[in-house]
Amino acid sequence: MNIADIITPAQVDALIQFGITLVIIIAKIVVVLAIGLLHVAYATWFERKVIGHMQVRLGPMRVGYHGLLQPFADGIKLFFKEDIIPAKADKAMFYLAPVIFMAASMVNLSVIPYSRNFVIADINIGLLFIFAFAGIGVYGIFISGWASNSKYAFLGGLRSSAQVISYEIAMGLSLVGVMMMAGSLKISDIVKAQEASVFGMYAIPQFVAFIVFSISALAETNRTPFDMPEAESELVAGYFTEYSSFRFALFFLGEYIAMIIMASIASVCFLGGWTLPWYITNYVPFINYVPGFVWFLMKVYAFIFFYYWIRATVPRYRYDQLMKIGWKILIPVALANIVVTGLIKIIITTLKGA
Amino acid sequence: MEPAEKIFETRELNVNMGPQHPATHGVLRLVLDIDGETIVNVTPHVGYLHRGIEKLGESLSYFQGLPLTDRMDYVSAMSNNIGYCVAVEKLYGIEAPERAKFIRTIVGEVSRISNHLLWLATHALDIGAMTVFLYCFREREWLLDLFEMISGARLTVTYPRIGGVRNDVSQEFLDSLWKFTDEFPSRILEYETLIDQNRIWLLRTKGIGVISAEEAVSWGMTGPTLRGSGVSYDIRKHMPYDAYDKVEFEVPIGTEGDTYDRYRCRMLEMRQSNNIIRQLIEKLPPGPVMAEDPKFTMPPKDKMYPITHPEKDLAYFILEKACKGCGMCLRACPAKAITGEKKAPHKINQALCVNCASCLVTCKFKSVTVVAGGKGLSEEKLAELAVAPDQLPEDIKQAQQYLTRQFEFVKKGPKVPEGEIYVATEVPKGELGFYFVSDGSAKPSRMRVRAPSFIHAGCLPRLCEGHLIADVISVIGTIDIVLGECDR
């Protein structure tokens, strides 16, 4: 039988095309994962340095120049530590929890547009996808708290899941305003809409939403002042009290990736992603030659710095106070923001029509 | 429909906090009965750091018991030392010289500031303000360096002595301390910018662990923990000891009796302490730093120098005729310079001798003598020059008496009149009382310490009533306990 009978040349071309696309996608994934993990490693270094200097000390200084190799030393140390599983733990669940937690936050890396044409999957429901996976991440937290069979981990898991679920609502509502202005859930569309808008970035017209989002992002990633689940002085280390070695590292990785994701969302939804506002590019024309991902990353770093700054400044909320802020302040404010945005949008369209 | 409690069996969760827990400041163990996040009951368990200091004190002379007090409240060891010294001085009926009193008050207040700094650091860290922790340690380090300058130790100082202080302070110390007091008020402002008006801090401290004045008194609270409830009780003010009656200061008191008021009290107290130190440095009188009492104090070292100074031109020599070969000096010699068989005259190896005079004091047969100007002379020459101990020059004889007194003092301690005494001093944590029962011997028949930390730890269940888990942490911080003192 001739091979041409089974498959036509056009199909072969299509297959080759498909193969090339696949290779490109895999290459993209590898690049994003590698760079993402490198960012996690250096986010920890950056955090220790920033907080160190704010607290009149130096931070890591020993491993490499100014402690630059410290993240690798930490990683190696964690990798070679003894993996301890509590005797009465639910083993299967105990194994599964950190994997769920990290996978759920890592998947989000795929829908973030890093530059004009660089995104792994530019799907129509990008923002919704991120919320969905943030929701799945809660399973990791809750299962780890339950499976550890420890009271501290249990309380930490309860606190954390309640907190993450509550603040997800506030965060989702705060982004509704952005979606309404952009008219799309596709993240690259949101960035493009910002580029075309009068303000250049949505942080200006949507400043209320931006504030609500920033606060919820802190709570969503369990950072100070909302670091309730891992409030060291209360619950030792919260839901991952019983975890050690690389399983602990997975939680740690997941948490930092979640932080970077949050910073990326802030960057693409409020700060204009890879673009700069027209009023800057118009007056400083040569700035257009700088590749887009530089601006994207700078915005992300600025947001991460803001996280660290807060950590070095404020004390911790109490659990009930945190819930009160989420439900009684942030959610109503975000809802009001949606109403006002809608009204203004209607007024503008009416005026345009007239 | 039936309420949920009837369908499901609900019970309180029992959580063990400590003895190894990041927020229990040492080895405090709390058993919490919690209903969700609300505290139903708190049971403090103490004793994990019990070393029997009170019992140890009964087997040591008063002079030897002093270093034990360092190990009680190791955060402010200086204050404990002072409390012990003041109590024993009262028992002995002696008084420290003016300069010593001033120095003790200065170091006592330095100790208070360093204690409050550590309290603020850990209290803030427990509530989550991490930066305050490191800022406080920056200043505390300065104070610990000052302690090192005067006593050689940073934590367990044992600097005050019964009847004064160990050594005079140097000008360098006073200058550095003066500079510290210049800068410290601005540093306090620095901490306060971070937390004092911070809304989260206010939310976490206001209305937490409230206790009324009457209740605080009946629970036996003292120090800033009591003053936060509005009771003006400060031993420094109302029963002054050392040099507190010569300085002007205020006793800050709170109104609400909550965590925030206790925090404010301590912050204001640090400012007052700073003020006290400045006044004392300005007024510091000249004079000796150790009382001289023929019975109760150790003789000054320089009085013994005519025979003990290693650089002195003298030699120790055993008179062959008087030596019975009992071997007492042989055992007493720390340099192992004495040799000789039993019941045969002993010899001192001049090359090894360190002029410590141990043999001189030990010998019961007056066979050891001092040869003035005998350094480096041969055995025969020494035998020629040696005279019987009772024919020695007057200054050497006097030095020998002082030396004998010192030996007696260190080995046995002075005998104390019979009776009992309770003396309280204001340490940073509250009222530290020493109670001694003396049976007329050199050792206390009973030594009892009233430790503020122990009494405050007992108040924990009352203060935590009805609060949340997170509030237990702020309550532990606010009563400022150190388990070393609590368990003793």
Contacts of B193 in chain A (CB under 8 A): none
CA distance B126 to chain A (A): 5
Test A56 with B138 for CB contact under 8 angstroms. yes
Dihedrals phi, psi of A275, to nearest 5 degrees: -100, 165
Write down the pTM of the prediction: 0.82
Of A266-275, B101-110, B319-328, B379-388, the poorest mean pLDDT is in B379-388
- What are the b/e assignments for A222-258, b being 16+ CB within 10 Å? bbbbbbbbbbbbbbbbbbbbbbebbbbbbbbbbbbbb
Contacts of A236 in chain B (CB under 8 A): 21-22
The whole-number pLDDT of residue B3 equals: 65
Dihedrals phi, psi of B34, to nearest 5 degrees: -120, 145
Contacts of B130 in chain A (CB under 8 A): 51, 55, 224, 311-312
- What are the b/e assignments for A47-75, b being 16+ CB within 10 Å? bbbbbbebbeeebbeeeeeebebbbeebb
Nearest residue in A to B477, CA atom: A233
Give the nearest partner residue to B126 out of A55, A233, A320, using CB atoms. Answer: A233
Give the nearest partner residue to B200 out of A56, A151, A225, using CB atoms. Answer: A225
The whole-number pLDDT of residue A230 equals: 61
Work out the pLDDT band at B5, boundaries 50, 70, 90.
Answer: low
DSSP-assigned letter for residue B292: -
pLDDT 10s digits, A69-82: 888 898 888 888 88
Q: Measuring CA to CA, which residue among B340, B321, B332 is closest to residue B383?
A: B321
Measure the CA–CA gap between B317 and B323, rounded to whole angstroms. Answer: 11
Nearest residue in A to B198, CA atom: A314
Test A51 with B203 for CB contact under 8 angstroms. no
CA distance B26 to chain A (A): 13
Measure the CA–CA gap between A181 and A201, rounded to whole angstroms. Answer: 11
Q: Measuring CA to CA, which residue among B273, B272, B262, B177 is closest to residue B228?
A: B262
Contacts of A314 in chain B (CB under 8 A): 128-129, 198, 200
Nearest residue in A to B134, CA atom: A55
Give the nearest partner residue to B23 out of A54, A152, A234, using CB atoms. Answer: A234
CA distance A186 to chain B (A): 37
DSSP-assigned letter for residue B460: H
CA distance A41 to chain B (A): 22
Average pLDDT over residues B14-34: 78
Measure the CA–CA gap between A132 and B131, rounded to whole angstroms. Answer: 36
Tokens linked to A217:
């992002």
Which of A78-92, B7-21, B212-226, B361-375 holds the top average pLDDT?
Answer: B212-226
Test A231 with B470 for CB contact under 8 angstroms. yes
Contacts of B134 in chain A (CB under 8 A): 55-57
Tokens linked to B118:
């550590």
Measure the CA–CA gap between A41 and A46, rounded to whole angstroms. Answer: 9
Test B23 with A233 for CB contact under 8 angstroms. yes
Q: Report the SS3 class of residue A183.
A: coil
Contacts of A223 in chain B (CB under 8 A): none
CA distance B184 to chain A (A): 16
Task: Specify which residues B364 forms β-bridges with.
Answer: none
Q: Walk across the sheet containing B430-438 and list its strands.
A: B419-427, B430-438, B444-450
Q: In 10 A of CB B15, how many CB atoms? A: 17
CA distance B201 to chain A (A): 6
Tokens linked to A168:
């997800």
Report the amino acid identity of residue A228. Answer: M
Test B469 with A234 for CB contact under 8 angstroms. yes
CA distance B138 to chain A (A): 8
Test B130 with A227 for CB contact under 8 angstroms. no
Selected for mutation to probe chain A from B38, B134, B142, B199 (highest A CB count within 10 Å) is B134
Q: Report the SS3 class of residue A336.
A: helix
Measure the CA–CA gap between B181 and B477, rounded to whole angstroms. Answer: 26
pLDDT 10s digits, A180-206: 888 888 888 888 888 888 887 888 888
Of B210-224, B338-352, B447-461, the poorest mean pLDDT is in B338-352
Give the nearest partner residue to A233 out of B22, B135, B198, using CB atoms. Answer: B22
Percent of chain A with pLDDT over 90: 4
Spatial contact of A186 and A126, defined as CB atoms under 8 Å apart? yes
CA distance B486 to chain A (A): 21
Contacts of A312 in chain B (CB under 8 A): 130-131
Average pLDDT over residues A154-174: 84
The whole-number pLDDT of residue A79 equals: 86
Work out the pLDDT band at B249, boundaries 50, 70, 90.
Answer: confident
CA distance A228 to chain B (A): 9
Complex-level ipTM beyond the 0.85 threshold: no
Of A149-153, B352-356, B476-480, the poorest mean pLDDT is in B352-356
The whole-number pLDDT of residue A336 equals: 92
pLDDT 10s digits, A97-122: 888 988 888 888 888 888 887 778 78
Chain mean position to CA A167? 14
The whole-number pLDDT of residue A236 equals: 66
With an 8 Å Cβ cutoff, the interface of chain A facing chain B consists of 51, 54-57, 151-152, 155, 159, 224-225, 227, 231-236, 311-321
Domains of chain B: 73-293+419-442+452-464+471-481 (1.10.645.10), 301-411 (3.30.70.20)
Spatial contact of A278 and A200, defined as CB atoms under 8 Å apart? yes
Nearest residue in B to A237, CA atom: B22
Test A155 with B15 for CB contact under 8 angstroms. yes
Q: How many CA atoms lie within 13 A of B323 on its CB side?
A: 24
Q: Mean pLDDT across chain B, nearest whole number?
A: 83
**CA dihedral angle for residue B352, residue B355, residue B359, residue B365, rounded to 10 degrees:** 120
Work out the pLDDT band at A339, boundaries 50, 70, 90.
Answer: very high
Residue with tokens 């503020």: B452
Q: Helices (H), strands (E): how many in chain A?
A: 14, 0
Report the amino acid identity of residue A179. Answer: M
CA-based max dimension of chain A: 79
Spatial contact of B254 and B230, defined as CB atoms under 8 Å apart? yes
Please count the residue pairs, one from chain A and one from chain B, whose beta carbons lie less than 8 angstroms apart.
84
Report the amino acid identity of residue B61. Answer: S
Test B128 with A236 for CB contact under 8 angstroms. no
Residue B203 pLDDT more than 60?
A: yes
Residue B1 pLDDT more than 60?
A: no
Average pLDDT over residues B36-60: 86
